[in-house]
Amino acid sequence: MTTLTPYRSTTVQGRDGFGRMIRAEWTKLRSVPRWMLALVAAIVLTVLVALLMAGGSQMERAGGGGPVVMTLDPYNDEGRFAYRTLAGDGTLVTRVTAQDGSHRDAKAGLMIRSSTRPGSPYAAVMVTPGRGVRLQTDFTTDIAGGPGTAPRWLKLTRAGSSVTGYESADGTRWNRIGAVTVDGLAANAVAGAFVASPEQIKVERQFGGESVTGQSTEGTATFSDLAVHPADPQPAGAWRDDAGKPVDLSSGTVTLTGMGDVGPRLFATDVTRDALGGTMIGMMAIIALAVLFMTSEYRNGLIHLTFAAAPRRGRVLAAKAIVIAAAACAAGLAAALGAVLLSVAVMRSKNVIVPTVTEGPVLRAVLGTGLLLALIAVLTLALAAITRRAAAAIAVPLLVLLLPQILSRGLPVSAARWLDGATPAAGFAIQQTLHRYDTVIGPWAGLGVLAAYTAVAFAAAVWLVRRRDA
């Protein structure tokens, strides 16, 4: 008796078949001219809005002065600093005898830092007119002390990378504010007194936009009994300020005047995100394309042929999603790159130096814009598969993506934070390059929120497509 061995193909049919599905869907997309024009429209609209915004910018400096420089530094590091060197551990002490009320957050106190270079690691204890005594470090940590104002005694003690802050009303009984660890604090540090005074910021929020204006303030404080006591004997260094000028302490007091803040830049203009603002307009073309890519087959009845040729409907939907996501991503990358490059060129022509695409956060925003539009395209495709109606499939993504962006500008910051972080509009956080006062979610976390909504919608679309008639 002869035993027949069943025939088995050496070709991986599943993979090969799915590849053919992707090629077939790509052929459908590129064979309809108006669909390809939609991709071009997304690019043109995004770039055009960027040019209009850059052309209308009011950041140019009056009077023919030097260029306005917009940086990605997440901090301000300004003010006035009078210091001497401190090798190793030691203690700083002073009495802030007077401080004017230039700003409720004006700062006068003691600071130890690695160097005078902007952004170097530091710890500082200070008195303020409106927020009492504070212990701060590295532009982020802020520990509250007592409610007192000047006159006030202050003290900082360093032990390795740990710095402890104290305050006193009389210079005898000291109250410990707290201790902070300053990573990267140099062994040979600079230590002394400082004064800073932030800008007076006015924020006007209205539906569709916001206006942030600032006016510089100048803070002045007088210090007495300013001294640095090293733990180990060392030569007494000369006192100087951060401009390199000598500071005279022979009278026992010194008065410092300074402008600018030492702390996070919460109200800076995110010029890259502004340049990519046209994405909200360009995405309308992507949404329309994704809807037509799905619903046109239902409208023409061709979906029956598609499912007859490929009965595994979930794989068909996956192939469509891959094709539309790739097309939207490519258009998004081209649009974002063009918007940023042209915006930089226009701003430079106005004597404004802005971050370029070679800087890490800007490059992430450009690449992220491609991913953003890819997710929006797949989300829209899934909604189109669920509703099978073009009007509804266009209205829903526009509602959940555009409306939060518009409403959040006219709502209180607390409500705007919730709206921006809990809706699919959180995906636009991938375009931010600065942490601002109204930032609610990080760039990748925001894109993750949009990805989660997209995954749920796509899973629902696959479930429905498998269970109902075409």
Determine contact, residues 157/179, Cβ cutoff 8 Å: no
Which CA distances in Å does 135 have to 65, 139, 140, 431?
37, 11, 11, 33
Cα atoms in the 13 Å half-sphere on the side-chain side of 205: 15
The backbone torsions φ and ψ at residue 408, rounded to the nearest 5 degrees and listed phi first, read -60, -25
Task: Report which of residues 237 and 223 the model is more confident about.
Answer: 223
Nearest by Cα to 137 from 180, 178, 175: 180
Helix (H) or strand (E) holding 162: strand 162-168
452 token code pair: 């989660």
171-202 pLDDT, tens digit per residue, is: 999 999 999 999 999 999 999 999 999 998 87
Q: Taking the domains of the chain in order of start, what are their residue ranges?
A: 17-57+269-467, 75-264
Identify the CATH number of the domain defined by range 75-264: 2.60.120.560
Asked if residue 323 lies in contact with residue 22, where contact means CB atoms within 8 angstroms, the answer is yes
Which one-letter DSSP state was computed for residue 200?
E
- Top mean pLDDT of 45-54, 244-253, 304-313, 443-452 is at 443-452
pLDDT at position 417 over 70: yes
pLDDT of residue 10 exceeding 50, the answer is: no
**Among the listed ranges 79-88, 107-116, 459-468, which one has the minimum average pLDDT value?**
459-468
**pLDDT classification of 6: cutoffs 50, 70, 90:** very low
Tens of pLDDT, residues 108-143? 999 999 999 999 999 999 999 999 999 999 898 999
What predicted TM-score, i.e. pTM, was given to this entire model?
Answer: 0.80
What is the pLDDT, as a whole number, of residue 311?
Answer: 72
Residues in the chain, overall count? 470
Q: CA 272, 275, 276, 277: dihedral to nearest 10 degrees?
A: 120
Q: Compute the distance between CA of residue 365 and CA of residue 72 in angstroms, rounded to an integer.
A: 13
Q: What is the pLDDT of residues 303-362, one digit of tens each?
A: 777 777 777 888 889 999 999 999 999 999 999 999 999 999 988 888 888 889 999 999
Find out whether 433 and 270 touch, Cβ atoms under 8 Å. Answer: yes
What's at 236, amino acid-wise? A
Q: Please, how many CA atoms are within 13 Å of residue 309, restricted to the half-sphere of its CB?
A: 11
Using CA of residue 74, residue 79, residue 84, residue 89, what is the dihedral sign? Answer: negative
